[in-house]
C-alpha cells in the first residue's frame, strides 16, 4: 500500500477514537528477549515462523527497525518512556539498583502512567508472571509500582480498553550454551530440532560444533517464540478482542553473541517490528528507518492520546515521519561491571560507530559474556591460533579503531571499515557531525564518565544480595577501575 494511503487509513482510526471511550483500541506489545529478525518474513530460510509471518501479512512489517540500546535494561528504559536512554540518564545497564537511585528528569513519565490517565487498564505479563508477579520491567530508574494494574488484561472492567505488555523469554531459553534440556523441550513441543548442518553463520564466526549448536538452539528459540505469538493471537480471537486490538511485535535487541547483544553492529541493533490491528493496512511493507522508541509514541497516537512534547519517539504513521527520521542512533555504555562508551548513527546506506574507549579490546572481560560457551570457545580457538584473520581482527585485536564506517549496501555484515579510506572522507565527516549534533541535541548523559560512587553502588548489588561474591567479578571490577584511572 502506498504511504499516503497508510496515513489516511490510520487517520480515520484516530479520528474515531476519543480518549476514555469504550471503543478505543486495545494495545498489546509483544516484547521478546535477545533475538534478531530471524523470522521467515524477514528472510530467514533455515526455519519457518508462520505466526509472525501471518501477523505481518495481516498488518505492516517494518524492515529497518533499530533499538537505541543493544542490551535489555537501557533499551526497555528507553522504550517505556519513548526517550533515548542517554537523555534520561538510564544508559548504563542495570544501573540505579543500589543505594544511589536514578529518577526521570523533568516531566518524563513511563507510558503506562499516560495510558492509565486516559482510562486504560495497564498490565505487564508473560514469562515468569505468575500469581501477582509482573512480567519483566528491568527499568534503570525509579517508577511507580501502581502504574500497572496487574499482569493480565482479564481483571479489567467490562469494555475497558487495555494496554498489555507480553514479555517473552526469547533467545534466553537456550541459556549460556548448548542446552540439552532446551533441545529436549523443543523436540517435545515443536516436533523437531534445527540441524546444525543447516545453520548459516555470519562470516566472522567459525563453524565450530559449539557455536553451530548454540545458533541452532537460538533458531529454535525463534520457532518457540513464533508459537507463543500464535497462542497470544488465538486467545485474543477466542475472547473476541482481536479485531479491536493493535498488536505490536518486536524484540529488545539482537542475538546474544560476540558481535550482537551489547554492540552497535546491526547484529545487535536490528530488530523485527510488526504491527497488526484496526486501521493498519494489510500486507504493508515499510523500508524506512525507525527506532524502537517510536513504538511508544505510535501506540499513544493510535489510542487517541497525544504523545507529550518531551517524548523523543515519533508516531511512525504520522504524515511527517519521514522528515523526522533520516537516520537512527544507538548507544552502548556500561554493561554489568564492564565500562564502555560506544555511539553510532545509521543512515539508509552507511553506519558510523565511535569507539570512545578504543584502547580496550572488543571482548573485554565481562562475567556475563565470558560465561557463555560460545565466547569461551572463541577464546579457546584464539589461544590455539585456530581463528581466521577476519575473526581475529574483529574480535581479538588488542584495541579497536576510534572510528568505524561501513557501507551497508555492499557490506551488510560490517567487516570492511572505511573510516581511513580517503574515498569516504566526506561521508565520514558528515556522519561524525551528525552524531555529534545528536549527542548535543539530546543531552547525551554518557558524555561524562559514570561517577565511581554510582559504579560502586551498583557493583555492591552484583557482589551482594546474599550470594557468594564472585572472584572473577571482583577482578573485572578492579581491572575496569584501573583502566579508567589510566584513561582507557
**253 part of a folded domain:** yes
Across the beta sheet with 60-66, what order do the strands follow?
Answer: 121-126, 162-168, 26-32, 245-251, 270-276, 60-66, 284-291
Q: What is the pLDDT of residues 379-416, one digit of tens each?
A: 999 999 999 999 999 999 999 999 999 999 999 999 99
Q: What is the pLDDT of residues 314-353, one digit of tens each?
A: 999 998 887 778 999 999 999 999 999 999 999 999 999 9
Q: Helix crossing, 180-190 with 209-238: angle to 10°?
A: 40
Instruction: Count Cβ atoms within 10 A of the Cβ of residue 91 and give its class: 0-12 exposed, 13-18 middle, 19 or more buried.
Output: buried
**414 part of a folded domain:** yes
Are the CB atoms for 446 and 91 separated by under 8 Å?
A: yes
From the list 274, 284, 361, 308, the residue with the least C-alpha distance to 108 is 308
Residue 169, pLDDT above cutoff 70:
yes
**479 part of a folded domain:** no
From the list 137, 93, 141, the residue with the least C-alpha distance to 446 is 93
> Residues 213-240: what's their mean pLDDT?
98
Say what the alpha-carbon torsion angle 305, 308, 314, 319 is, to the nearest 10 degrees: 60
Provide the β-strand partners of residue 31.
167, 250
User: Could you give the C-alpha distances from 246 to 24, 29, 440, 463, in angstroms and in order?
Assistant: 10, 8, 35, 42
Nine-digit cell at 431?
Answer: 556522519
Are the CB atoms for 457 and 100 separated by under 8 Å?
A: yes
The string of DSSP letters for 351-386 reads EEEEETTTTS-TT---HHHHTSHHHHHHHHHHHTT-
Instruction: Count Cβ atoms within 10 A of the Cβ of residue 409 and give its class: 0-12 exposed, 13-18 middle, 19 or more buried.
Output: exposed
Q: What is the DSSP letter of 113?
A: H
**470 part of a folded domain:** no
Give me the pLDDT at residue 319, please: 87
**467 part of a folded domain:** no
Domains contained in the chain, number = 2
Beta strands 342-346; 350-355: pairing state: antiparallel
CA–CA dist 107, 205 (Å, integer) = 45
CA–CA dist 482, 364 (Å, integer) = 13
**430 part of a folded domain:** yes
Give me the pLDDT at residue 9, please: 44
- Shared domain check, 356 and 295: no
- Shared domain check, 276 and 383: no
Start-to-end C-alpha separation, the chain: 51
Residue 6, pLDDT above cutoff 50:
no
- Shared domain check, 363 and 301: no
> Residues 6-14: what's their mean pLDDT?
45
- Shared domain check, 85 and 100: yes
pTM of model > 0.85: yes
**264 part of a folded domain:** yes
Beta strands 328-332; 284-291: pairing state: unpaired
- Shared domain check, 59 and 79: yes
- Shared domain check, 350 and 234: no
CA–CA dist 37, 53 (Å, integer) = 12
Across the beta sheet with 350-355, what order do the strands follow?
Answer: 328-332, 342-346, 350-355, 403-407
Nine-digit cell at 234?
Answer: 488465538
- Shared domain check, 336 and 314: no
- Shared domain check, 84 and 181: yes
**437 part of a folded domain:** yes
Q: What is the CATH number of the domain that holds 123?
A: 3.40.720.10
- Shared domain check, 371 and 273: no
Residue 12, pLDDT above cutoff 50:
no
Nine-digit cell at 107?
Answer: 516531566
Q: What is the pLDDT of residues 449-488, one digit of tens each?
A: 999 999 999 999 999 855 656 899 999 999 999 999 999 9
CA–CA dist 169, 62 (Å, integer) = 22
Owning domain of residue 107: 3-325
> Residues 419-445: what's their mean pLDDT?
98
CA–CA dist 81, 438 (Å, integer) = 18
Q: Considering 325, 349, 370, which residue would you say is the last residue of a domain?
A: 325
Q: What is the pLDDT of residues 317-328, one digit of tens each?
A: 998 887 778 999
Q: What is the CATH number of the domain that holds 371?
A: 3.30.1120.10
Q: Considering 308, 325, 342, which residue would you say is the last residue of a domain?
A: 325
Give me the pLDDT at residue 324, please: 78
- Shared domain check, 383 and 301: no
From the list 2, 6, 22, 79, the residue with the least C-alpha distance to 303 is 22
Q: Considering 302, 325, 348, which residue would you say is the last residue of a domain?
A: 325
- Shared domain check, 132 and 104: yes
61: left (phi over 0), alpha (psi -120 to 50) or beta: beta
Residue 5, pLDDT above cutoff 60:
no
Residue 10, pLDDT above cutoff 90:
no
- Shared domain check, 352 and 305: no
> Residues 47-70: what's their mean pLDDT?
98
Amino acid at each position: 500500500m502506498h504511504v499516503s494511503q497508510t496515513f489516511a487509513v490510520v487517520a480515520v482510526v484516530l479520528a474515531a477514537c476519543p480518549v476514555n471511550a469504550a471503543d478505543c483500541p486495545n494495545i498489546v506489545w509483544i516484547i521478546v528477549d535477545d533475538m534478531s529478525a530471524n523470522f521467515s518474513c524477514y528472510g530467514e530460510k533455515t526455519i519457518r515462523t508462520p505466526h509472525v509471518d501471518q501477523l505481518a501479512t495481516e498488518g505492516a512489517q517494518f524492515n529497518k527497525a533499530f533499538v537505541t540500546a543493544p542490551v535489555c535494561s537501557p533499551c526497555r528504559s528507553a522504550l517505556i518512556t519513548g526517550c533515548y536512554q542517554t537523555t534520561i540518564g538510564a544508559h548504563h545497564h542495570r544501573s540505579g539498583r543500589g543505594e544511589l537511585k536514578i529518577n526521570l528528569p523533568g516531566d518524563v513519565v513511563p507510558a503506562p502512567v499516560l495510558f492509565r490517565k486516559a482510562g486504560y487498564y495497564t498490565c505487564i505479563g508473560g514469562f515468569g508472571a505468575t500469581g501477582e508477579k509482573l512480567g519483566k520491567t528491568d527499568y534503570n530508574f525509579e517508577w511507580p509500582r501502581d502504574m500497572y494494574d496487574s499482569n493480565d488484561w482479564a481483571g479489567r472492567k467490562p469494555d475497558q480498553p487495555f494496554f498489555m505488555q507480553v514479555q517473552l523469554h526469547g533467545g534466553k531459553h537456550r541459556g549460556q550454551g548448548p542446552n540439552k534440556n532446551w533441545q529436549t523441550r523443543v523436540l517435545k513441543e515443536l516436533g523437531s530440532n534445527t540441524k546444525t548442518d543447516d545453520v548459516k553463520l555470519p562470516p566472522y564466526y567459525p563453524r565450530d560444533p559449539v557455536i553451530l549448536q548454540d545458533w541452532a538452539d537460538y533458531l529454535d528459540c525463534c520457532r518457540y517464540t513464533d508459537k507463543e505469538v500464535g497462542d497470544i493471537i488465538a486467545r485474543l480471537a477466542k475472547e473476541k478482542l482481536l479485531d479491536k486490538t493493535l498488536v505490536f511485535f518486536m524484540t529488545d535487541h539482537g542475538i546474544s553473541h560476540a558481535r550482537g547483544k551489547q554492540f552497535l553492529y546491526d547484529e545487535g541493533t536490528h530488530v523485527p517490528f510488526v504491527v497488526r490491528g484496526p486501521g493498519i493496512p494489510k500486507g504493508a511493507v515499510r523500508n524506512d528507518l525507525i527506532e524502537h522508541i517510536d513504538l511508544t509514541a505510535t501506540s499513544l497516537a493510535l489510542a487517541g492520546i497525544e504523545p507529550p512534547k518531551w517524548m523523543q519517539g515519533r508516531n511512525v504513521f504520522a504524515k511527517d515521519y519521514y522528515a523526522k527520521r533520516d537516520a537512527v542512533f544507538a548507544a552502548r555504555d556500561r554493561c554489568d561491571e564492564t565500562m564502555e562508551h560506544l555511539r553510532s548513527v545509521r543512515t539508509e546506506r552507511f553506519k558510523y560507530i565511535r569507539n570512545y574507549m578504543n584502547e580496550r579490546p572488543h571482548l573485554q572481560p565481562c562475567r556475563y559474556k565470558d560465561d557463555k560457551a560460545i565466547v569461551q570457545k572463541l577464546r579457546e580457538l584464539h589461544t590455539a591460533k585456530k581463528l581466521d584473520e577476519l575473526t581475529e581482527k574483529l574480535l581479538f585485536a588488542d584495541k579497536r579503531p576510534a572510528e568505524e564506517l561501513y557501507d551497508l549496501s555492499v557490506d551488510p555484515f560490517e567487516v570492511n571499515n572505511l573510516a581511513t579510506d580517503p574515498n569516504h572522507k566526506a561521508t565520514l565527516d558528515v556522519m561524525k557531525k551528525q552524531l555529534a549534533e545528536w549527542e548535543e541535541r539530546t543531552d547525551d548523559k554518557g558524555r561524562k564518565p559514570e561517577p565511581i560512587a554510582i559504579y560502586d553502588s551498583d557493583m555492591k548489588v552484583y557482589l551482594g544480595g546474599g550470594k557468594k561474591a564472585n572472584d572473577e567479578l571482583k577482578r573485572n571490577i578492579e581491572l575496569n577501575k584501573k583502566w579508567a584511572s589510566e584513561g582507557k
